[in-house]
Amino acid sequence: MTKAIRTPALVVRAFNVEVARIQDQTTDPQTAAFRLQFWQDALTIIYKKDQSQQNIPANPIAQELYKVCSCYSLPRRHLERLVTSRSGLIKARHFRSLEDLERYAEDAVSPIYYLLLNVAGIKDIHADHAASHLGKAQGIANILRSIYVSNHHKMMSLPMDILMKYGISQEEVLRGIDSENMRNVTFEIASQANSHLEKVKYNINILKNQKVIRMAYLLKSAIYIFFQARKIKVPKIVNQIFLPATGVDAYLKKLQKANFNIFEKSLQKQNTTLPFSLYYRRLTNKY
């Protein structure tokens, strides 16, 4: 990440990690709710008018978040969505449908990209669309990738409607039983993530090749309209913000190589080539 937004990006991601790991730290919904409420209260304090740092909770992340929010005027709603999305998941304990999963991904991941675009001062509808779709793709991929953790907590993270469609029971998923129908479940969910990833690429390409049409009207004996188009290069910072798409793409391809066996142990291993892919894309400013 470029120096211009490195610090705020680290703070935003640290806040997200702190909130996200709450559901992994405890199996007691009430304890998790109390911890999430701490962050809701912290945001209320941070965004209080004429607030000073001495009133911010003595938590390193809360302290740094206050500085970043004050400096960059981050929209409160995006930070709150990172909290409320986890709170809703802890209460529900499962996704009723694939649409539910997509909504969760939009609320739990996309706000990070909206915030980073805000920090970078990028206001563009295609950048916002890319952020939304990347959040959904990454959120869905995270759910697939975390199947072992979810099973450990006895939590059904896969959408119930897709499981019912292929006749897969919750018990089969929790026990890690591979079957053709289970692979069909994984394929359908992964395909949705890939669909969102393609839309990310589409919107980034529009950003790279966006055309501005200038029209000049000259009224004499007739009306003449002149069009002039020119390419606008997308700032490097945009590609850096959306670099995590590379990791999502790598995981989905790895899942495809495993023939969509979500329980394949190799999927849990670290991708040793990913750092090189990220570096290459950052260096060449290519998605």
* pLDDT tens per residue, range 108-128: 999 999 999 999 999 999 999
Per-residue confidence (pLDDT) for residue 232, from 0 to 100: 44
Per-residue confidence (pLDDT) for residue 222, from 0 to 100: 42
Residues 62 and 19 reside in one and the same domain: yes
Q: Is residue 189 part of a domain?
A: yes
Residues 4 and 74 reside in one and the same domain: yes
Residues 131 and 76 reside in one and the same domain: no
Per-residue confidence (pLDDT) for residue 284, from 0 to 100: 67
Per-residue confidence (pLDDT) for residue 152, from 0 to 100: 57
Q: Which amino acid is at 201?
A: K
Q: Is residue 200 part of a domain?
A: yes
For residue 162, what are the contacts with CB-CB under 8 A and spacing of at least 6? 97, 98, 185, 188, 189
Residues 73 and 136 reside in one and the same domain: no
Number of folded domains in the chain? Answer: 2
Residues 137 and 275 reside in one and the same domain: yes
d(CA 45, CA 53): 10
pLDDT digits (tens, 9 = 90+) for 134-151: 999 999 999 999 887 665
Q: Is residue 217 part of a domain?
A: no
Burial of 43 (0-12, 13-18, 19+ CB in 10 A): buried
**48 contacts 42 by C-beta, under 8 angstroms:** no
Per-residue confidence (pLDDT) for residue 15, from 0 to 100: 97
- Annotate 186-195 with b (16+ C-beta within 10 A) or e (fewer): bbebbebbbe
Blockwise average pLDDT, block size 10, the chain, 287 residues: 84 95 83 93 93 90 95 95 91 89 96 96 93 97 84 74 95 92 97 97 82 40 39 68 92 95 86 69 65
Q: End-to-end CA distance of the chain, in Å?
A: 15
Residues 193 and 246 reside in one and the same domain: yes
Residues 196 and 287 reside in one and the same domain: yes
Q: Which domain holds residue 84?
A: 1-92
